[in-house]
Structure 1
Amino acid sequence: MSLPNNRMTAIVCYGPEDYRVEEKDRPSPGPGEVVIRITACGICASDCKCWSGAKMFWGGDNPYVKPPVVPGHEFFGVVDEMGADAASHFGLKAGDRVIAEQIVPCDRCRYCRSGSYWMCEVHNIFGFQRDVADGGMSDYMLIPRTARVHVIPPELSLEDAAIIEPMACAIHTVQRGDIQLSDVVVIAGAGPIGLMMVQVAKLKTPKKLIVIDMVPERLALARGFGADITINPAEADALKIVQDATDGYGCDVYIEATGSPSGVVQGLSLVRKLGRFVEFSVFGKETTVDWSIIGDRKELDIRGSHLGPYCYPIAIDLLSRGLVTSKGIVTHDFAFADWDEAIKLANSLDSIKVLMKGGG
């Protein structure tokens, strides 16, 4: 049964493992705001950790998640309605396919004003804080005035358009690694974003690209995307293989995308002295390492990677030219009403990227 024009279906987060499919009021745009009709919204690993109750989302006196909130930050859709001045503000017209970056910058803090908007001090991310930034797991979604919005070309497939956000994150992470032609690069974790990192890192043409994961099917995909060596650490000695490939020195760049504390410990072992360690993952629990490795033993360059700043146009361009792809990564899709089934599959090793599909 169809809903009235002013109502919509949405997934609403109330707490860990308490996500409900509900009927809600459809948003209306104010001045400078846009309402989009959602086409698809991916389930991210951070969505799975949030659903599972990870401490980083729910711990402490001021938890990051502010329920009730509509989750979802890997969305795209079609411009449905615009408030006053929104068309000129964003450079949009009705019917455009668009994506907004996952952060809603305040545009007032020192980071926003200096151009580092992705590190905004307020730091509202779509899908985690109620009212300010409801996410894309709904029929319609409000895009605030300070959002960063990009137009998606009509020829881009639904699946490719749905991975623009994680692809932008992958691009930013690879850029943080400052990969050189002579580098041996290790990417640990061949989940959805890890597999996107493999594709992007291959475009940098490193001397050798090594991928580590424990799922054979994902390692096979990594090889298809250009990995020179793949390692299942449950079956082979990753340290020996990397040392054999580097004359005993270790890799030049280690990108941590496992989301597991063991991936950090492993990386500090595999990376060479004066190497670059890039940390991307969102962890479900705290990680403990021998910190002296970083300074006294190896003098490592430790770099974080957060979101996909300035990388959305690059992601759209690479996808449009077929240099990177969603093929093999997007494995399942569900209607919003089937959330319970979708999150359980997304939170397992039986899928890679799961999409929630709307009607846009």
Structure 2
Amino acid sequence: MPRSAGKAVAAVAVTPGRTELDEFDLPDIGPDDALMMIEATGLCGTDLYFYHQAPDMVRFPLILGHEPVGRVARIGDRASRRWGVREGDRIVVEEVFPCSRCRRCRYLNYHLCENGGRYGAVATTVEPALWGGFSEYMYLHPDSLVYRVSDDVPADLGPLFIPIANGIRWVQQVGGLGIGDTVVVQGPGPHGLGCVIAAREAGAGTIVVTGTARDAPRLAVARELGADVVVDVDAEDPVARVAEITGGRLADLVVDVTAGAPDAFGAALRLAGFGGTVVVAGARHRGCPDVAVDTIFLKELTVRGVYGRDSRAVRPAIALIESGRYPLHRLVTHSFALEDTAAALDAFARSDPRTDAVHVCVRP
């Protein structure tokens, strides 16, 4: 659609499963907030969940997208000092803008804030409407968490700060992976691949990634990022394979990133060795029928749920992207124009051998 002066074009999810382009006024910026010009926004499984499942936490219409990279277009004086950025600086922004006052924020769990908001989850009926990354511009709330990123980073790679930061928190900070340990990552999606990078950085002895036959392209990328073994669970028993690799000890850490796979948690318990840790990161949206609960106490397992990341993981994730040490370009398989956002959502949802989609982004 044609662009108008003083306005931003955005891809709006008007109802579940339906996207339309619309225009919104660019907001006035005060001393504490800012406006971000979007270069690229990554597509996350949460976007698909919101788009198709319409959970109670979201209201339509809304602009999806919470993995943005771009430039500071306008910024207030106090916001500039608080965030340490100026107009023209390259930035990424976390999806949550926390209140900094609730109990969770005070205990350094701001990613679980009870009162704040989330980009990609606020209706356009809430002023100033530009609350998501699938747009030409995104409004930055005064409580936003903003980080500078190098101009040398290709725009398509910037959004990877979220899956890599998740991997750092889930594998290193929560999972406690040690040098020489064996880790199994269930699910080679973007966040699972972020876990592979985090495990390699932590000095893992053996990194195993499991997936299904349709995950073959993603499993190939996992090998390029540092996985030692990949297992197609449709072709072989992952527990038997890991037992063979480890001489029967099984895994020190299992990270379950298999969103929508109800059987994976039961398999994670079987893959973990005595005294091991199981980190659950993927939402099931339904029950887990194959769970032998007694395994938890018989093996003295630690089971931890994780949801998102914090600045302790975001900053090293940005540094890893800037370092160029990993072939991250292999993750970015699809880039769509803003007007093709619906096609981007469809490509990521299908993510099968016909599309080979690993990480998808939208670029205005």
Please confirm whether the aligned pair reaches a TM-score higher than 0.5, indicating the same fold: yes
Cα gap change, 1:293 to 1:320, in 2 (>3 Å): same
Instruction: For 2:181, give the aligned amino acid.
Output: D
Q: Secondary structure at the match of 1:272?
A: strand
Question: Could you tell me how far apart the structure 1 residues matched to 2:132 and 2:179 are?
Answer: 39
1:141 to 115, 125, 138: 138
Q: Report matched runs for 1:1-360 at 5 Å.
A: 2-53=2-53, 58=55, 63-130=56-123, 131=126, 134-175=131-172, 176-214=174-212, 215-259=215-259, 260-290=261-291, 292-310=293-311, 311-349=313-351, 350=355, 351-358=357-364
Shift of 1:123: 4.6
Cα gap change, 1:11 to 1:284, in 2 (>3 Å): farther
Shift of 1:27: 2.8
The answer as to whether partners of 1:39 and 1:75 remain within 8 angstroms in 2 is: yes
The answer as to whether partners of 1:36 and 1:140 remain within 8 angstroms in 2 is: yes
Cα gap change, 1:167 to 1:296, in 2 (>3 Å): closer
Q: Which runs of 5+ in 1 are unaligned?
A: none
The answer as to whether partners of 2:263 and 2:290 remain within 8 angstroms in 1 is: no
Instruction: For 1:274, give the aligned amino acid.
Output: G
Shift of 1:325: 4.2
Instruction: For 2:166, give the aligned amino acid.
Output: C
Runs of 4+ in 1 over 6 A off after TM superposition: none
Question: Could you tell me how far apart the structure 1 residues matched to 2:74 and 2:84 are?
Answer: 14
Question: Could you tell me how far apart the structure 1 residues matched to 2:249 and 2:219 are?
Answer: 24
Cα offsets for 1:110-169 (capped at 9, x unmatched): 121232211211252211122388111111111111111101111112122121122211
Question: Could you tell me how far apart the structure 2 residues matched to 1:26 and 1:346 are?
Answer: 30
Cα offsets for 1:224-248 (capped at 9, x unmatched): 1111111001011111111112222
Shift of 1:185: 0.7
Q: Secondary structure at the match of 1:261?
A: coil
The answer as to whether partners of 1:103 and 1:123 remain within 8 angstroms in 2 is: yes
Q: Secondary structure at the match of 1:163?
A: helix
Instruction: For 2:39, give the aligned amino acid.
Output: T
The answer as to whether partners of 2:332 and 2:360 remain within 8 angstroms in 1 is: yes
The answer as to whether partners of 1:319 and 1:325 remain within 8 angstroms in 2 is: no
The answer as to whether partners of 1:41 and 1:76 remain within 8 angstroms in 2 is: yes
Shift of 1:289: 4.8
The answer as to whether partners of 1:185 and 1:254 remain within 8 angstroms in 2 is: yes
Percent identity between matched residues is 28
Question: Which deviates more, 294-303 or 336-345?
Answer: 294-303
Question: Could you tell me how far apart the structure 2 residues matched to 1:51 and 1:110 are?
Answer: 30
Q: Secondary structure at the match of 1:30?
A: coil
TM-score by length of 1: 0.92
Shift of 1:47: 0.9
Q: Secondary structure at the match of 2:350?
A: coil
Cα gap change, 1:325 to 1:120, in 2 (>3 Å): farther
Question: Which deviates more, 207-216 or 124-133?
Answer: 124-133
Q: Secondary structure at the match of 2:158?
A: helix
Q: Which runs of 5+ in 2 are unaligned?
A: none
Shift of 1:174: 1.4
Question: Could you tell me how far apart the structure 2 residues matched to 1:27 and 1:289 are?
Answer: 51
The answer as to whether partners of 1:46 and 1:282 remain within 8 angstroms in 2 is: no
TM-score by length of 2: 0.91
Cα gap change, 1:127 to 1:216, in 2 (>3 Å): same
The answer as to whether partners of 2:13 and 2:64 remain within 8 angstroms in 1 is: yes
Question: Could you tell me how far apart the structure 1 residues matched to 2:11 and 2:292 are?
Answer: 41
